[in-house]
Structure 1
């Protein structure tokens, strides 16, 4: 089977890698350079902590397993490896109400003393939190490049700076992995960009040990509001800089820097870790996450366009969910029994629910 993957970001790279592993003849096409889109502006989150029980959590757990299984091979393909860190995630709160809410999650509840054993430099008013040992972080550009290199080693072809307007006639299957730009192919799926900003500090010693975020982050992830939302997310990197997020807003592909968003990010980080108030911010950047109207990724065959398959709509979880997405697509294309039920992610759900594209 000849498969063309449109989009060389991490989801497209994972689809190419998984399909090549199964012996399919893969071509990856991207209108830009290597990881020139959303993947290059991601934090590298691999999370189970921000997902409620259901299909997306199932996909996250499958992906978590695949990240660990793929790590050794991916590390072979890039100097310094993909920097997969098994650091764990810590959700913190300042209120008793927040603690009651966290008690209903799958995390390990930690009290005021235990939370400071995990993160000694947290603000004094943090009451406690929930710790998720499965949460990890990866360097997304490295990971995507390694997946593409692994696919090429298995015979795949990579064509950068090549725009695709129509489905390639020589492909038996075409995978739309174009992220926030995915609505250009197939039925009119409800996918649109959701902008997010990140702050990057000067390099620091290891002062923040885990991915740490406020409980409000969970509400923002699940929200469909178009307006600006901010919640504090702080984590260190192997290179030393601390990454500070997260914002969400649906403003199309407007790339204008938002002073309000950046100010709120800085204030939230300093409130969570007071020492950051004296740390220099070196730069900021933004990306456009592929927002799906029902907050579930869109994975599977297009219900109206022959040969077209979709792999997008992950919003801010695309990096973490990429391996399971590629694995699911490869299973479906080859007729293998998938590791999880593909039905909740099917593009056809929008036709059934809303008559989209009908």
Structure 2
């Protein structure tokens, strides 16, 4: 067991929560700071597909984290459910991709990576998903893809954390900068005064770039707005996730159907728009015509932490001892969280890392502002 240190974590999304959980279960004292309520930003707003939308389009760095996480999610969910009584609902439905432009690349990737993705006749997709729209001619299917009910995952993680010794969660606590002492980051400044620690972890999603900017460092993480809509149908209405033309439908166990999502560069504006609502509804009806008669029961926007190639920053910040990053997961924060947070804990505690940490190292990827 590593020597106990006080670790201050800035950001209470799924990355911050799971980082805190991994460190606290290894005997570290953790103070988690969240500017609003935990898990209310990107972690709450996303769809929760436990796979990148197009996994073959990513670099090996993202793939390595994704594979480890996908294989780990079911046991993480079981552990959290057993500990807290809150089920994150990891729901394995498989995923159909329809009319892909780069289908050959997808199939070649699956062979190379040993993932269970294969071409199926479009009639097979219609048999499996009877509500699917008729305008498609080709399909590929990956059987073991799950989705996690992200608001429940966040609730479960929070409950698990609060049950552990040495954990403090402070919500409505806005971090304004870092306390630096002789080149070492000794804590953070907040509206309620300084909070000191042995190590400080920046896991603030889309806000991470702005915060690191207070140290004169330029981190290319910026908010990318995404809007979603939610329908309520019968619990067996949609049997599998489907994805076409960049839009997807995700069934929850209770019949809620999520349709997403837009990609908009609007700064920190999270206002849902009528334009996006109409666009998402049109995509929904194209994918699943019966949704034309279903009620939209929710419409919201979130801010993804956009980063170059979607490769997160995981590891120590050069030139500022005591400061660490676990941020910049772009569209795949929920997908990559288990691996990212395990790798992060390995690095901070000096354990053998689960995968090669080099591609995620902040060193060489952030610049003086």
Give me the TM-score of the superposition, normalised by structure 1.
Answer: 0.88
| Shift in Å, 1:36 | 2.3
Written as runs of structure 1 = structure 2, the 5 A alignment for 1:201-216 is: 201-214=231-244, 216=245
Q: Tell me, in whole angstroms, the C-alpha distance in 2 between the residues paired with 1:98 and 1:111.
A: 17
| 1:102-181 equivalent positions in 2, closer than 5 A | 102-106=106-110, 107-155=117-165, 156-165=167-176, 166=178, 167-168=187-188, 170-181=196-207
Whole-angstrom distance in 2 between the partners of 1:307 and 1:164: 17
CA contact (8 A) 1:49 1:89 kept: no
**Partner Cα separation in structure 2 for residue 102 and residue 350 of structure 1:** 29
User: Distance in 2 between the 1:199 and 1:48 partners?
Assistant: 19
Q: Which structure has greater strand proportion?
A: 2
Question: Which SS does the other structure have where 1:55 is aligned?
Answer: helix
Aligned to 2:96: 90
> Partner residue of 2:76?
70
Once the two structures are superposed, residues 227-273 of structure 1 have per-residue CA deviations (whole angstroms, 9 ceiling, x without a partner) of xxxxx211111232211111101110123333222212111111111
Q: Give 1:305's aligned residue.
A: 320
Equivalent of 2:39 in 35, 47, 63: 35
Separation in 1 of the partners of 2:20 and 2:158?
7
How far apart in 1 are the matches of 2:271 and 2:52?
31
Out of 225, 240, 244, the residue aligned to residue 259 of structure 2 is 244
* Structure 2: gaps (5+ residues): 111-116, 179-186, 189-194
Q: Does 1:235 align with 2:250?
A: yes
| Gap regions ≥5 residues in structure 1 | 218-231
C-alpha contact (below 8 Å) 1:86/1:136 kept by paired residues: yes
Of residues 75-84 and 38-47 in structure 1, the stretch that sits farther from structure 2 once superposed is: 75-84
1:188 paired with 2:199, answer no
In the other structure, the counterpart of 1:314 is 329
Q: Does 1:23 align with 2:27?
A: yes
Contact 2:129–2:238 (8 Å) recurs in 1: yes
SS of the residue 1:60 aligns to: helix
- The answer for the alignment partner of 1:256 in structure 2 is 271
Q: CA deviation at 1:113?
A: 2.0
Indicate the RMSD between aligned Cα atoms, in angstroms. 1.9
**How far has the Cα of 1:101 moved from its partner?**
4.8
Q: Aligned pairs, how many?
A: 337
Q: Distance in 2 between matches of 1:36 and 1:273?
A: 29
SS of the aligned residue for 2:208 comes to helix
TM-score by length of 2: 0.86
